[in-house]
Amino acid sequence: MTQLKLYSAIFVVLMALSTTQALVERTGFVDFDAPDTYWMAFGIILVLSFVKAVFVATYYMHLRWEPRSVTYLMLGGLFVALALTTAAAYSIL
């Protein structure tokens, strides 16, 4: 029963982060004519996405209970994905 409570709490946190991310996109922060607001919204969305990815990898993919070498391998992949996302953001402008 404690596992159910843990996964339910994590689901609520992920839903709140996703809602916040959608609100950042919908409130007009993403304005391509004003680069300052675009980069601020991009940074907020990137941080929220990173936090959500850590929660999913840690609990739903059970990395919390895996050997550290597997965790480091996943962190390396996450770093590469963030680097590619940042590089793709530069090609938009």
Domain residue limits, the chain: 2-92
Q: Is 67 helix (H, G, I), strand (E, B) or coil?
A: coil
* Burial environment of residue 52 by CB neighbours within 10 A (0 to 12, 13 to 18, 19 or more): middle
> How many CB atoms neighbour CB 61 within 10 A?
13
pLDDT above 70 as % of the chain: 88
Q: What is the pLDDT of residues 22-65, one digit of tens each?
A: 998 887 666 666 667 778 888 888 899 989 988 888 888 877 78
